[in-house]
Amino acid sequence: MFFPFYARRLPDSHFLAVSRSGDYVFLGEEDLHKLTTAPQELELDRLAELQSKFFLGSPTRQGSLRLLASKLLAKRETILNGPSLHLIVLTLQCAHTCRYCQVSRSLGSLGHSMEPATLAAACEMIFESPSKSITVEFQGGDTLLRFDLIKFAIEKITERNLQEKRHLRFVVSSTLHQLDERMCDFFKQHNVYLSTSIDGPARLHNKNRPTPTRDSYERTINGINMARDLISPDVVSALMTTTRDSLLIPEEIVDEYVHLGFREIFLRPLSVYGFARRNFEHLGYSLSEFSLFYERAFEHILQINREGGDFREVMASVFLNKILSPFDGGFVDLQSPTGAGLAALAYNYDGFVYPSDEARMLAEMGDTSFRLGAIGETLDALLNSEVQQNLIRASTSPRIPGCDQCAYNSYCGPDPISAKNQAGDIFAAVHLTDHCRRNMWLFDFLFMKLHQQEKWFLDLAFQWANPTPEREFCCA
Amino acid sequence: MRKLPVKTHGIPLRGVQRVISLALLANEWESGLQFMVLVDSIGDAGILEQLVDGGLKNIVVCVPYHLDWHSHIMPTVACDTRALELHDVVVLNLEKQELLVVYRNSDMHHAIQLTNRCNSFCLMCSQPPTTHDDQWLIDEALLVAAHINDSPSAIGLSGGEPLLLGPRLREVIDAYATRLPSTRIEILTNGRLLADEVLATHLLTGISDKVSWLVPLYGHADFLHDFVVQSVGAFEQTIGGLLTLQSYGQAIQLRIVLIEPTLRVLPELCRFIGRNLPFVREVALMGCEPIGFALANRDACKTDLADWHAELIEAANALRRANVPYIFMNTPLCALPQSLWAHAHQSISDWKRSFREECSICVVKTNCSGLFSWHNHNWTPTVIKAIDGKACNEEVH
Amino acid sequence: MKKFIKSLSLFIASIPLAAAKATAELPAGQDAVFESQLSDFNPVQLRPLNHGLDNLFAGHRSHSSHRSHSSHASHASHYSGSSGRGSYSVPAQDTTSSPSTTSPSEALPAAPSFSSEQPNKEIVSPRLDAPKPPLPSSQLTFEEKRRLQVMRVQIALIGLGLYAGTVDGEFNTDTQEALRSFQRLKRLPSSGLMTTDTLNALGIMAVQ
Ligand code: SF4
Ligand code: SF4
């Protein structure tokens, strides 16, 4: 008898079916039909394959069922082990006036940084999570403007961890413009990773991220170089945001990253929050425009690897991890139920805890509906809050109309926070959300690649699907 | 296992003995063990008789045939003593006038057989099971543990199916773990009975961390595996057993014997392992031993590995992609594609291994597993063909 | 190959039907119910163990996917066969209770049938007369260790022709006298005691 699974006709018209365990097969219409009506008529090899991938089974097969239960557990590890990604939004101050930024405040503005007492409470709260690995990421604004707060928090958390013995990691997200030797010393001493933004070549970056002196790119590069010299060559990772101006130069953007010595790039579409929403005509683009951009960049990256380079695209890696690996890579934005709250928490400078970075940005724009509670409340209270329960309800893919019939629901689920932002409702019809349309497109794209069975590509795909500790996704 | 013809005098019972010299006896003697003392002169034999006079009950004297002598006051074994080494653990089989070397320090591989019984009936079983009660083997294995005077890097506990010992398997494991403190204990089992929670709890709770489990898997679907082991339900039990082992943090080596039914599905089986059993320490891909049931099931078991290179490479790729280490065992290098040579091990136990005439001109002989001595010209893993210097690159060195 | 597929198909056909349709059927196509049924099973952590705490494959993954020969040789297991040795025959004293068996190379078994019948797996209680292995010397009492030490010395002295008494573990005057002779021969202080130097000269290690 067959187990629940969903099939999908890919754009190249082949059938793909994915079982609850996340195992997939490409199969013809005839086999698909037999699978659901008369599995015993399948060829033996096909039968064995479908059985081994949990399309077929029986309640008497106790070993296999226990295996299936174990596999489902492995897939949910990220959301079952307690929040592991803790974002602390220290300040909104920033010297930039980025075109797509929603939240930052000018340097002079007061009252947009976290009070030390609040920060101290946040540092304690982090340890309420049962997770054995904890990543603390400092966000801004531009965090290095408040190095004093970073130092305070890292020292406090490190001290508490002497007893807790969690596997700790710190990430500071910053333009790196203010980085100096003293900071580097401190970061080196505490094993801190740095995350910065590079949108592409200087002219694009400086256009996207204006500063009064028009040298944002140059100053960030200086910061990167200083960090690599004084801390370690691998200490900095970079993020890019795709704007309308990026669309025509995918290869150039990738080359910029390679040239700067990065080993990966995260080709992120613009998230349409805050100012970006208001500036949509200038910055925004449709999914098909983005997908053209992405596919060009992707092919270019494949070419680099084919020529012996070691360079990966992070979004594809996250998706391939879902498809090919029995272990979840820990990327909080692609979980079902959502990783927002369950796997990640954002402690905002305003004294409240939000389930994600996006949720706190929405709050900045006036929608505070995702507040889980105040810093200092118990984790239990936050996770049992009405808000969190609704987030879970709105993102458990097998129970969401649309997702319930989707072949990708073993890998994916709705993102209620972006749904709220886009359509005003966390339960918005999933197929109409950007999140769903983009994910479906990328899954289709990668499955078509996998179906071509090119040995070389498969090798690369499996490599990307297995994150290494230094390259885990959750800080991306 | 090495067997040696002997002539015995005055030995009442089959028993386990430690082979020793007169010079070492004083240092190692203890009352609970049995010693077989090698002597090559009547004079030394006389000293032993004096010890027996002095009250030592647990010594047997072992003399070469040419002395043509036996003692009237102590048990005597005559044999070709050159075939024995000090600290060999031997069992005397009086019925057959045969001495079995069950443990030898200088061997690379050590194995102790715990039972002849099995709950599977594999197509290629090298040692077809019997159904007789053979509890005495357990007692003997415990004695062997006490008689070993060394802690080798690893020792295998095999069968038959060791799990059929039930709770007593733990007794044996504990005995070896205490006696041989720096030895890895490797249990060759089909894992089926570990699906039984009560037995699993008894065997695995608090077990020595020196233990690892060598478990065969022959298919990715029940009917494939069950066919090879000729037992319905075995696959589900083995999968359950593997999960139980993992839940107790046990080290596991999966073993796949390369015969036609497994070679056919090898790539898919290895993909299955990568997706579902990624916790195993390693997968061993093993050439089939032409012995036991394999001879009777020649159709399924006799294969030329050269015909299956594509499958072997694809299977290796699947394991590599899933980061599951793998090794080839019992596969001469000339039977493997060269890209897999680096994964081939010299796995055939010393006393089972042989080479062919052809091998003497082969440039990779020193890295090659060779053949089982019971491989004959009718049955080799492939056509044995010497590798010449040109065909071989640095990869093997 | 054909022949094999045929026997495989036969094998499948012979699987008892009872096994195929069992107790409570899992409802197909209904995820929620499906998963709640699965929750009866005790799931197992599938990640390789002992590979670092950070649950991201530390140590298990390396940047390059190539694993060197030597890196896993350390935990490779090398038993070449499905078992390590040929079949045993039953011990001589046991012939009454169990008939002796022959080793596989001597008598070829018939090809296994396709039946699912299993060999007898019942475990009988251990024989009472089974010889019991001794305790490791580390588990002996102090008294027992000393006895053993003395016996070993007596054995050595007999071997040297210096002692002709019994090997009884009693540190009696004969034994002491023999030790003194030995010590004189070796130019050691002739105390008649089992000093470390004396034991070393006798080639006997102190019982631990
Ligand atoms: S969000 Fe879209 S792509 Fe993801 S599971 Fe739901 S329907 Fe499928
Ligand atoms: S010819 Fe002999 S030594 Fe050379 S690879 Fe073949 S079996 Fe090994």
User: Is the Cβ atom of A397 under 6 angstroms away from ligand 1?
Assistant: yes
Sort out which chain C residues have CB atoms less than 8 A from B166's CB and list them. 123
pLDDT-based confidence at residue B75 (cuts at 50, 70, 90): very high
For residue C45, the chain A residues in CB contact (below 8 A) are 70, 73-74
For the CA atoms of B232, B235, B240, B245, the dihedral, rounded to the nearest 10 degrees, stands at 120
DSSP letter assigned to residue B53: H
| Cα–Cα distance for residue pair B332/A336, rounded to 1 Å | 49
Question: Which pLDDT belongs to residue C5?
Answer: 66
Q: Does A60 touch chain C (CB under 8 A)?
A: yes
Where are the domains positioned within chain C?
Answer: 138-202
* In-domain check, residue A36: yes
Token pair for A41? 């008529």
pLDDT score recorded for residue C100: 37
Nearest-10 crossing angle of helices A62-80, B234-247: 30
Centre of ligand 2 to C-alpha B7, Å, is: 39
Q: Which residues of B touch A (CB under 8 A)?
A: 195, 219-224, 235-241, 243, 265, 268, 272, 274-276, 278, 317, 321-323
- Residue C35 pLDDT: 66
Question: Which has more pLDDT, B297 or B69?
Answer: B69
Q: Is the pLDDT of residue C82 over 50?
A: no
For residue range A172-227, list pLDDT tens digits in order. 999 999 999 999 999 999 989 999 999 999 999 998 888 888 889 999 999 999 99
- The tens digit of pLDDT for each residue in B223-274 reads 999 999 999 999 999 999 999 999 999 999 999 999 999 999 999 999 999 9
The pLDDT of residue C121 is above 70: no
Closest CA–CA distance from residue B66 to any residue of chain C (Å):
23
**Residue A324, min C-alpha distance to chain B (Å):** 8
pLDDT given at position C9: 72
Q: What pLDDT is recorded for position C105?
A: 35
Q: Of all helices (H) and strands (E), which one includes residue C171?
A: none
Q: Is A402 in the pocket of ligand 1 (CB under 6 A)?
A: yes
Q: Are strands B59-64 and B76-79 parallel, antiparallel or unpaired?
A: parallel
Q: Judge whether A52 lies within some domain.
A: yes
Residues 6+ apart with CB under 8 A from A330: A77, A78, A84, A343, A467, A472, A473, A474, C55, C56
Closest CA to A239 of A274, A213, A216, A270: A270
Distance B362 CA to ligand 2 centre (A): 6
pLDDT at C75 over 70: no
Q: Is B364 in the pocket of ligand 2 (CB under 6 A)?
A: yes
Contact A296, A304 (CB under 8 A): no
Does residue C112 contact residue B226 with C-beta atoms inside 8 Å? Answer: no
Cβ-defined contact of B260 to C131 (cutoff 8 Å) = no
Ligand 1 site, residue A408, Cβ cutoff 6 A: yes
In A, minimum Cα distance to C26 occurs at A59
Residue A87 lies in a domain: no
Shortest Cα distance from B211 to chain A (angstroms)? Answer: 23
Minimum-distance CB partner of A60 among C19, C35, C41? C19
Tell me the CATH number of domain C138-202, given options 3.30.2010, 3.40.50, 1.10.101, 1.10.8: 1.10.101
Residues from chain A contacting residue C55 (CB–CB below 8 Å): 77, 81, 132-133, 330
Q: Tell me which residue has its CA closest to atom 6 in ligand 1.
A: A403
The answer to whether residue A387 sits within a structural domain is: no
Asked if the model's pLDDT at residue A270 lies above 90, the reply is no
Residues of chain A in contact with residue B322, where contact means CB-CB under 8 angstroms, are: 462
Q: Which residues of A touch C34 (CB under 8 A)?
A: 3-4, 20
pLDDT number for residue A331: 86
- pLDDT of A383 higher than 80: yes
B365 in contact with ligand 2, CB cutoff 6 A:
yes
Say which residue the tokens 């498809």 belong to.
Answer: A323
The domain of A13 spans: 5-75
Q: Is the CB of B332 under 6 A from ligand 2?
A: yes
Q: Is B335 in the pocket of ligand 2 (CB under 6 A)?
A: no
**How does residue C16 score in pLDDT terms, banded at 50, 70 and 90?**
low
Is the per-residue pLDDT at C26 higher than 60?
Answer: no
Q: What 3-state DSSP class applies to B287?
A: strand
Confidence label for B104 from pLDDT (cuts 50, 70 and 90): very high
Averaged pLDDT for residues A389-393: 90
Distances (CA, A) of C200 to A203, B2, B282, B315, C184: 84, 35, 46, 58, 15
Average pLDDT, chain B: 90
Model pLDDT, residue C110: 35
Q: A224: which residues sit within 8 A by CB, 6+ positions away?
A: A176, A196, A236, A238, A260
Question: Which residue reads 């299955």 in tokens?
Answer: B272
Domain ranges of chain B: 2-103, 111-351
Element (H, E) at A66: helix A62-80
Number of domains in chain A: 1
The mean pLDDT value of chain A amounts to 89
Is residue A70 one of the residues assigned to a domain? yes
Q: Is residue A46 part of a domain?
A: yes
Cα gap B270→B263, rounded to integer Å: 11
Residues 6+ apart with CB under 8 A from A405: A6
Q: Which ligand is nearest the CA of B380, by number?
A: 2
ipTM metric: 0.91
For chain A, state the CA radius of gyration. 23
Looking at the structure, give the CATH architecture of the domain made up of residues B2-103. Answer: 3-Layer(bba) Sandwich (3.50)
B111-351 CATH: 3.20.20.70
Residue A313 lies in a domain: no
Give the confidence band of C28 by pLDDT, cuts at 50, 70, 90: very low
The separation between the first and the last C-alpha atoms of chain A, rounded to the nearest angstrom, is 42
Contact A113, A91 (CB under 8 A): yes
Task: Look at residue B218 in the predicted model and tell me its pLDDT.
Answer: 96
Helical axes B309-321 vs B260-276, angle rounded to 10°: 10
Q: Using the predicted structure, report yes or no on whether residue C208 has a pLDDT greater than 90.
A: no
